[in-house]
């Protein structure tokens, strides 16, 4: 039978205290998240659209870079391997990631490639909680040039030896195209490293054999399907066995997370207060899971810490980054 949040608060607190010993390698699609904040007081006379009077702008690492951002917030050391374009956004992203203490960045440049940029226009002045009006994307999703792909593999293979967990964060922007994931998984497992896959597609086969797959529920059951606990457990176990995954941490939106492994399925609910704004909560969960595994925490306890990180980000109006002191305060309050 599925279980419900069986990990004690004391075990969660003990796990969080270990995170500053974690060393994690992230390989995946880096992008720049840009926010343009302003106020609306009128409708345009040119078209029936609101006029946003811009008051401030903010830029943050996005995509796999947000997983890195969360790992640093949790106190883990992190190496990051990705590809950017030879453009202004790539330079800005390099500065944002390289300026974080505890990160060893390997942002390889491909000439002629456009760095992925997501620009969000938000009414009100908050990073989270304001009215999201529009998102405009610029991206290049082509696979990497073969010579650059070879270089990325060389750099990542070298970094695997110095870390305990490999995270492959695939936003389908080209960095993890083709057989790159299979080669990295093989190298990591040969070195005795665990592999976590953060995947936003149904391309399961290219990541076969990884220790933990983190998919969205709708990729398991269909775009419009919510899925009961029983359906999630059945679909998760079928996928786990079909592609030899050690476990699945399934993201179910406002419902919460489900962890499926050889011992069965553990469903972990989010409360109403923890679903105020889930933007970035998935990245926080992936980072917490990977950091825990790198620190030697048992997989089920690591999954429960991931659920706590997801809830902490989902409950906040403000920063979308999970930080160790806040996470420890959250779980310790329940002891």
Query: 215, 250 in Cβ contact below 8 A?
Result: yes
Residue 2: pLDDT over 50 = no
Q: Give tens-digit pLDDT for 194-239.
A: 999 999 999 999 999 999 999 999 999 887 777 899 999 999 999 9
Q: What is the mean pLDDT of residues 110-139?
A: 86
Q: What is the percent of the chain where pLDDT is above 70?
A: 96
Q: Which residues, at least 6 apart from 278, have a Cβ–Cβ distance to it below 8 Å?
A: 253, 254, 310, 313, 314
Side-chain-facing half-sphere of 95: CA atoms under 13 Å: 7
Instruction: Output DSSP code: residue 202.
Output: S
Catalytic residue set: 283
C-beta contacts of 235-243 below 8 A and 24+ residues apart = 236/260, 236/265, 237/265, 239/204, 239/213, 239/215, 240/213, 242/204, 243/204, 243/205, 243/207, 243/208, 243/209, 243/213
- Confidence check: pLDDT of 320 > 90: no
CATH number at residue 91: 3.40.1190.20
pLDDT at 125: 57
Higher-pLDDT residue of 7, 80: 80
DSSP assignments along 122-146, one per residue: EEBS-SSSSEEEEEEEE---PPPPH
| DSSP-based three-state secondary structure for 160 | helix
Residue at 276 is within a domain:
yes
- Taking 80 as the threshold, does the pLDDT of residue 152 lie above it? yes
pLDDT at residue 222 in the model: 80
Indicate the pTM of the whole model: 0.93
Whether 67 contacts 76, CB under 8 Å: no
The answer on pLDDT for 319 being more than 60 is no
Mean pLDDT to the nearest integer, 126-153: 88
Question: What average pLDDT does range 28-37 have in this prediction?
Answer: 95
> In whole numbers, what is the pLDDT of the chain averaged over residues?
92
Q: Is residue 104 part of a domain?
A: yes
Q: Is the pLDDT of residue 1 over 50?
A: no
For the chain, how many structural domains are there in total? 1
Q: Would residue 46 count as lying in a domain?
A: no
Tell me the CA distances in angstroms from 117 to 62, 207, 230, 262, one per residue in order: 9, 26, 38, 39
Q: Does 171 map to a domain?
A: yes
Torsions phi, psi of 301, nearest 5?
-70, -40
Q: What are the φ and ψ backbone dihedral angles of 291, each rounded to 5 degrees?
A: -65, -40
pLDDT at 325: 93
Instruction: Please check the confidence at residue 4 and state whether its pLDDT lies above 70.
Output: no
**Predicted confidence (pLDDT) per residue in 265-295, tens digit:** 999 999 888 887 788 899 999 999 999 999 9
* Residue 36 φ/ψ, nearest 5 degrees: -120, 110
Residue 314 has pLDDT above 70, yes or no: yes
**How much is the pLDDT for 317?**
54
CA distance 254 to 136: 25
Comparing 3 with 140, the larger pLDDT belongs to 140
Residue 37 lies in a domain: no
Instruction: Identify the band that residue 22 occupies on the pLDDT scale cut at 50, 70 and 90.
Output: very high
pLDDT > 90 in the chain, percent = 81
Band of residue 335 on the pLDDT scale cut at 50, 70, 90: low
Within-domain flag for 50: no
The tens digit of pLDDT for each residue in 44-73 reads 999 999 999 999 999 999 999 999 999 999
How deeply is 200 buried, as exposed, middle or buried, from its count of CB atoms within 10 A (0-12, 13-18, 19+)? middle
Containing structural domain, residue 309: 3-31+62-116+140-332
Q: Report the C-alpha gap between 74 and 302 in whole angstroms.
A: 13
The answer to whether residues 76 and 294 touch, using CB atoms and an 8 Å cutoff, is yes
Report residue 101 as tokens. 């203490």
Task: Check pLDDT > 80 for residue 36.
Answer: yes
Is 55 a domain residue? Answer: no
In a domain, 173, yes or no: yes
Would you say residue 3 has pLDDT above 70?
no
The CB density around residue 20, as the number of other CB atoms within 10 Å, is 14
């Amino acid at each position: 039978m599925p279980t419900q949040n069986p990990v004690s608060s004391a075990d969660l607190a003990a796990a969080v205290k270990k995170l500053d010993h974690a060393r994690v390698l992230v390989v995946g699609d880096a992008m720049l998240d840009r926010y343009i904040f302003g106020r609306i007081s009128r409708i345009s006379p040119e078209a029936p659209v609101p006029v946003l009077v811009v008051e401030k702008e903010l830029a943050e690492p996005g995509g796999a870079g947000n997983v890195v951002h969360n790992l640093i917030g949790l106190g883990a050391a992190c190496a990051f391997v990705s590809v950017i374009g030879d453009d202004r956004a790539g330079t800005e992203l390099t500065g944002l990631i390289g300026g974080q203490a505890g990160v060893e960045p390997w942002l390889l440049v491909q000439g002629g490639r456009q760095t992925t940029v997501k620009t969000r226009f938000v009414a009100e002045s908050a990073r989270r909680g304001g009215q999201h009006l529009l998102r405009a994307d610029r991206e290049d999703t082509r696979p990497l040039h073969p010579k650059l792909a070879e270089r990325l593999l060389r750099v990542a293979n070298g970094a695997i030896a110095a870390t305990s967990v490999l995270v492959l964060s695939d936003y389908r922007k080209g960095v993890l195209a083709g057989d790159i994931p299979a080669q990295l998984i093989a190298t990591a497992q040969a070195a005795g490293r665990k592999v976590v896959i953060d995947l936003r597609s149904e391309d399961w086969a290219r990541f076969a054999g990884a220790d933990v797959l983190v998919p969205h529920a709708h990729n398991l059951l269909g775009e419009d399907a919510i899925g009961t606990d029983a359906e999630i457990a059945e679909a998760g176990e079928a996928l786990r066995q079909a592609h030899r995954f050690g476990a699945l941490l399934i993201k179910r939106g406002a419902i919460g997370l489900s962890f499926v492994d050889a011992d069965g399925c553990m469903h972990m609910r989010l409360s109403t207060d923890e679903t105020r704004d889930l933007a970035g909560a998935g990245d926080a969960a992936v980072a917490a899971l990977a950091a825990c595994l790198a620190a030697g925490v048992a997989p089920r306890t690591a999954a429960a810490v991931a659920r706590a990180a997801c809830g902490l980000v989902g409950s906040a109006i403000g920063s979308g980054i999970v930080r160790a002191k806040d996470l420890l305060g959250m779980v310790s309050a329940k002891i």
